[in-house]
Structure 1
Amino acid sequence: MSPRPKKARNCEGNFCGMAFKPTGTPLHELRQIELHLDELEVLRLCDRESLTQEEAGERMGVSRGTIQRIITVARKKVAAALTEGAALIFVRDEEE
């Protein structure tokens, strides 16, 4: 059996190709961690706008459980980038 197709997620902004990195070190010398746009959007909604996971799910058109899975991965990636001095590269999902 193949997995279900990925549900379309409503994301604001266009950050594709942008990066967040430590200053003073060229991007090509840093470990690069990909942060997908849906992960960035969940961080924005839950952590910046202080929405509940259920409210964020309604805004993005997905379930609360999906939001919970996305935010767990996103927070680990951001924590790794901050503590290890890696770069966050914002990428669009291949299905979008």
Structure 2
Amino acid sequence: MTSNETINGRPVTAQQIAEWVAEAEAGYDVAALKKRGRGRPGRGAEPSQVVALRLTLDEIAALDARAEREGKTRSEIIREALACNATTSC
């Protein structure tokens, strides 16, 4: 694990990993796990598709800086930019 691993913008600590290990070793309620939905939640009525995007390190840094500044994810920033371009009402 590198020192910059995060979940929802919060650093993952060795203590958190130890807690996850203890939880896994204690076992999980399989019935409760099966009740959860499969995959990520939908974004609307229509199915969505994952699209790969190649960015330079500078572009990623700018994207991450804006996402952090606005409290959003990379995906949210990219979707907003696409919507802005499509409607030209930014």
Q: TM-score, normalised by structure 1?
A: 0.28
Q: TM-score, normalised by structure 2?
A: 0.29
Greater C-alpha Rg: 2
Structure with the largest fraction of helix: 2
* Bigger relative CO (Cα 8 Å, ≥ 6 apart): 1
Structure with the largest fraction of strand: 1
